[in-house]
Amino acid sequence: QCDLTGWWKNDLGSRMQVFKVENDGTFSGEYHTAVSSAMKPIQPSPLVGSQHLDEDGQCTFGFTVNWKKFSDSTAVFVGQCFNRSDGKEVLHTSWLLREKVDTEPNDWKATR
């Protein structure tokens, strides 16, 4: 069974720490991004999420990261944990980032 607890690293060098997955699948942690377009220095950011616990152990999950310490944006990630034949666990995720815009007409450029 995939265990999200611990440290994870992606291809761009960002790291995520999941503190503990509760019995109901909820979890919290910190995201340490390696990339940002913000003008302020990058800082670790809180994350909260939920894991779908299933019998085969290759769970789906989602979490939100609030970049409030250095940016006016929020990101959501969804993904699945896979158990590889070599025994390693790997996460595959997709994400959306919502940046703050000053006016409603600029809404079109706020999400990537």
17-46 tens-digit pLDDT: 999 999 899 999 999 988 877 777 788 999
d(CA 51, CA 24): 8
Strand order in 60-66's β-sheet?
6-9, 15-21, 26-32, 45-52, 60-66, 73-83, 89-99
What one-letter code names the amino acid at 81? C
* pLDDT on residue 57: 66
Give the pair of three-digit tokens for residue 3: 């265990």
pLDDT at 58 over 90: no
* pLDDT on residue 25: 92
* Ramachandran class of 46: left when φ > 0, alpha when ψ lies in -120 to 50, beta otherwise: beta
Domain boundaries, the chain: 6-106
Report yes or no: 67 and 41 within 8 Å, Cβ to Cβ. no
* pLDDT on residue 43: 85
- When pLDDT is cut at 50, 70 and 90, the band that residue 105 belongs to is very high
61-94 tens-digit pLDDT: 999 999 888 888 999 999 999 988 898 899 999 9
6-106: CATH superfamily: Avidin-like (2.40.128.30)
